Amino acid sequence: MTAVTHDNAAHRFITQTDGHHAYVEYAMGDGRIVITHTIVPSEIGGRGIAAALVKAALEYARDHGLQVEPQCSYADVWMRRHPEFDGLRV
């Protein structure tokens, strides 16, 4: 299981694995969270880290009554594959 932390000041959900940092970056806007980037270094790719980061961002949005605008292509595809989060999409 990937431990994800929320850095509210930096607008990122972050994890560290094998000395590498991965994150989802977002912006806030009128009742929504706009996911702009999902960054996972290739050294730690293929382990489900991006999925864990996006899921953490979506759960945060749901818990705080926010809608989600997935500008990041990975986040957009992940949301399409997980219909339980459809109600969050802007």
Mind listing the pLDDT tens digit for each residue in 31-73? 999 999 999 999 999 999 999 999 999 999 999 999 999 999 9
Q: In the predicted model, what is the mean pLDDT of residues 11-22? A: 97
Which residues does 31 contact at the CB level (< 8 Å), separation at least 6? 65, 66, 67
Show the domains of the chain with their CATH numbers. 5-88 (3.40.630.30)
Residues ≥6 apart with Cβ < 8 Å to 20: 41, 43, 44
pLDDT for the residue numbered 10: 97
Report how far residue 85's alpha carbon sits from residue 88's, in angstroms, rounded to the nearest whole number.
6
Query: What per-residue confidence (pLDDT) applies to 1?
Result: 64
